């Protein structure tokens, strides 16, 4: 069976940035997996870290169930997602267990370091998926298969230096928007926190507005998620675009982005 995994930094990141695409992959026949690296323990002024981690674990499990995804528990606290060997080994264990051909994760640069470091951990762990001399924690067998990484667009479509980041491809999520919303709604503990920390009065409305913005940029879809595809060297034997193959008319390549990549040096 074809397999895909979404790897986010915190509970609700997958729902905000990746869940629509994950749902479409499930519809296309993929087995899908859901993995947050951190437990969400810092996202509250109401609960202490231990209480909140317990609440958010339950919320994330329910969200994964709504998506129809296999759940993988978090491996560290918020603000402790650092690029170190121990966490690389632990992320590698999850990837080796799942054996995904598609990985959805954060962009290489985003507004907060937990997102950026999650990306770095995933890239390194995926690169080592076929390296038996690199030990995962716990140990998991390696596999000889191709994997393609896709990076979602950063929050607000800008990098940390405020530069606009445009997707290399758009995924039409209109047909799965309600399920994406239902999964995000399971993260009830986050509503008050997002009001306090980011001035977001309704995180459901924010997610829908973000999808509408990406859809408008696509000039084709009403609601969309945006992606940039990682260079295939070390991950697969050839350049491949499995999202394009799986999603068909719901996948739109940004030709302007591709032309920019093809400009001569």
140-169 mean pLDDT: 96
* Number of domains the chain is built from: 1
pLDDT-above-70 percentage for the chain: 97
Q: Residue 103: pLDDT band by 50, 70, 90 thresholds?
A: very high
Q: Which residue from 130, 37, 132 is spatially nearest to 88, judged by alpha carbons?
A: 37
Question: What confidence score (pLDDT) does residue 203 get?
Answer: 80
Q: Is the pLDDT assigned to residue 201 strictly greater than 60?
A: no
How many Å is the maximal CA-CA distance in the chain?
Answer: 54
149-162 mean pLDDT: 95
CB 141 within 8 A of CB 95: no
Question: What confidence score (pLDDT) does residue 43 get?
Answer: 85
CATH number at residue 214: 3.40.50.10320
Q: Is the pLDDT assigned to residue 249 strictly greater than 60?
A: yes
Q: Which residue from 170, 187, 152, 149 is spatially nearest to 67, judged by alpha carbons?
A: 187
Q: Residue 198: pLDDT band by 50, 70, 90 thresholds?
A: low
Question: What confidence score (pLDDT) does residue 259 get?
Answer: 86
Which segments of the chain are extended strands (E)?
3-8, 31-36, 70-72, 102-105, 148-152, 169-172, 224-229, 251-253
225-235 mean pLDDT: 97
Helix axis angle, 203-218 to 190-198, nearest 10°: 70
Question: What confidence score (pLDDT) does residue 265 get?
Answer: 73
Burial class (CB in 10 A: 0-12, 13-18, 19+), 184: buried
In this structure, of 88-92, 170-174, 182-186, 204-208, the range with the lowest mean pLDDT score is: 204-208
Q: What is the pLDDT of residues 59-90, one digit of tens each?
A: 999 999 999 999 999 999 999 999 999 999 99
Domain of residue 91, residue span: 3-261
What is the full DSSP assignment across 97-158? HH--SEEEE--SS-SSHHHHHHHHHHHHHHHTTT-TTSPPSS---------EEEEEPPGGGB
State pTM to two decimals: 0.95
Q: Is the pLDDT assigned to residue 200 strictly greater than 60?
A: no
254-258 mean pLDDT: 91
């Amino acid at each position: 069976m074809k397999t895909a995994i979404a790897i986010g930094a915190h509970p609700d990141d997958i729902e905000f940035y990746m869940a629509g695409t994950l749902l479409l992959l499930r519809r296309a026949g993929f087995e899908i997996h859901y993995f947050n690296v951190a437990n969400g323990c810092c996202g509250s002024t109401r609960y202490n870290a231990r209480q909140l981690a317990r609440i958010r674990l339950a919320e994330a499990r329910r969200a994964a169930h709504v998506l129809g995804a296999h759940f993988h528990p978090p491996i560290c606290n918020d603000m402790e997602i650092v690029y170190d060997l121990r966490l690389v080994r632990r992320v590698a264990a999850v990837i080796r267990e799942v054996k995904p051909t598609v990985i959805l994760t954060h962009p290489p640069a985003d507004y907060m370091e937990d997102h950026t470091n999650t990306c770095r951990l995933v890239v390194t762990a995926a690169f080592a998926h076929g390296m038996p001399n690199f030990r995962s924690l716990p140990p998991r067998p390696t596999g000889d298969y191709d994997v393609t990484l896709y990076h979602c667009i950063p929050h607000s479509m800008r990098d940390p230096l405020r530069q606009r980041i445009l997707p290399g491809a758009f995924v039409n999520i209109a047909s799965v928007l309600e399920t994406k919303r239902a999964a995000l709604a399971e993260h009830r503990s986050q509503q008050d926190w997002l009001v306090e920390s980011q001035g977001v009065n309704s995180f459901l409305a924010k997610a829908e507005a973000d999808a509408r913005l990406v859809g408008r940029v696509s000039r084709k879809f009403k609601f969309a998620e945006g992606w940039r595809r990682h260079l295939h060297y070390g991950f697969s034997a050839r350049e491949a675009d499995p999202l394009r193959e799986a999603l068909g008319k719901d996948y739109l390549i940004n030709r302007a982005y591709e032309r920019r990549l093809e400009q001569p040096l």
